[in-house]
Amino acid sequence: MCSFPKLAEFFHDGTTDKNATCYVSVGDERLLTDNYGDPLKEASISDVVAFLEKLRGEDKTYRRVPPLLAMLQAFKASETAGEWSEGELVVLHYGY
C-alpha cells in the first residue's frame, strides 16, 4: 500500500517498533531494509487489526482501511482456528 502515513507511524511509534526477523525476496536478493535504508518492521496480525479497527472508528472515509482490515481479520480467524501458530504470520511494513 502506498502512502498510508498513519500505518507507517504505527510501525515506527516506539511501542510496536520491532525490527523484522524476515525479509523481502527480490529475485536472488534478500532485502532487510526498505528503499530508504531503514530496517523492515513487523507487527502481529492482532496488533495491526486492533490498530485498523481503531482507525476505522476515527476516520470512516479512508478508503484503504476496510479492505486491509477485512483481509487481516480473515488471517486472524485462520490463526485463531489453529491453521498456524500465533506469530507464525506477521505484517511486514516495507516503505514509509
C-alpha 65/C-alpha 88 separation (Å) is 23
Output phi, psi for 37, to 5 deg.
Answer: 85, 5
List, for residues 4-30, the tens digit of each pLDDT value: 777 878 887 766 667 887 778 888 988
Residue 48: the pLDDT is: 92
Confidence of residue 1 (pLDDT cuts 50, 70, 90): very low
Q: Which amino acid is at 23?
A: Y
What pTM, to 2 d.p., does this model score? Answer: 0.79
Residue 84 grid coordinates: 498456524
52-90 as b/e: b if 16+ CB within 10 A: beebeeeeeeeeebeebbeebeebbeebeeeeeeeeebb
| CA neighbor of 62 nearest in space, from 10, 4, 13 | 4
**Domain range annotation of the chain:** 5-93
Please say whether the beta carbons of 94 and 20 come within 8 A. no
72 pLDDT exceeds 70? yes
